[in-house]
Structure 1
């Protein structure tokens, strides 16, 4: 399915980029910007962003790695001490 007609990005492209990033670095935080860069493209008009994000979120490899969850909360609690 075409997700972005301006940049010719498909849902398969997005999933392949996410899977490649996760395989290359299991601790990476997957963001839309990183997916665009991995595909050698950049956002254009932004009309596809909601579909792009829903496609990105549907990939099970976009979750934050378990070891990195809660780090912001822990740092905030340390600052208050």
Structure 2
């Protein structure tokens, strides 16, 4: 399915980019911008972003690495403590 019509990016392209990024660096934070760059493209109108994000989040490799979760909460607790 085509997710981004402006740049002709499919759901398969997005999943492949997420998988590739996670395999090359398991601690990386994956963003739409990084996916566009990995595919050699740039965002255009932004109309696809809700579906683009939903497609990214559906990938099992998308989740935030465990050591990076709740960083803000831990920082705030350290400031209070």
Which TM-score applies when normalising by structure 2? 0.93
Q: Is residue 29 of structure 2 the alignment partner of residue 24 of structure 1?
A: no
Q: Is residue 77 of structure 2 the alignment partner of residue 77 of structure 1?
A: yes
Equivalence for 1:61:
61
Residue by residue over 1:19-75, the C-alpha shift from the partner in whole angstroms, topping out at 9 and shown as x without a partner, is 000000000111111111111111101111111111111101110011211222111
Q: Is residue 16 of structure 2 the alignment partner of residue 12 of structure 1?
A: no
Which TM-score applies when normalising by structure 1? 0.93
CA root-mean-square deviation: 0.9
How far apart, in 1, do the equivalents of 2:79 and 2:23 lie?
34
Unaligned runs of at least 5 residues, structure 2: none
Unaligned runs of at least 5 residues, structure 1: none
1:5 deviation in Å?
A: 1.1
1:8 deviation in Å?
A: 0.8
- Please give the secondary structure, in 1, of the residue aligned with 2:6: coil
Q: Is residue 62 of structure 2 the alignment partner of residue 43 of structure 1?
A: no
Deviant stretches of 4+, over 4 Å: none
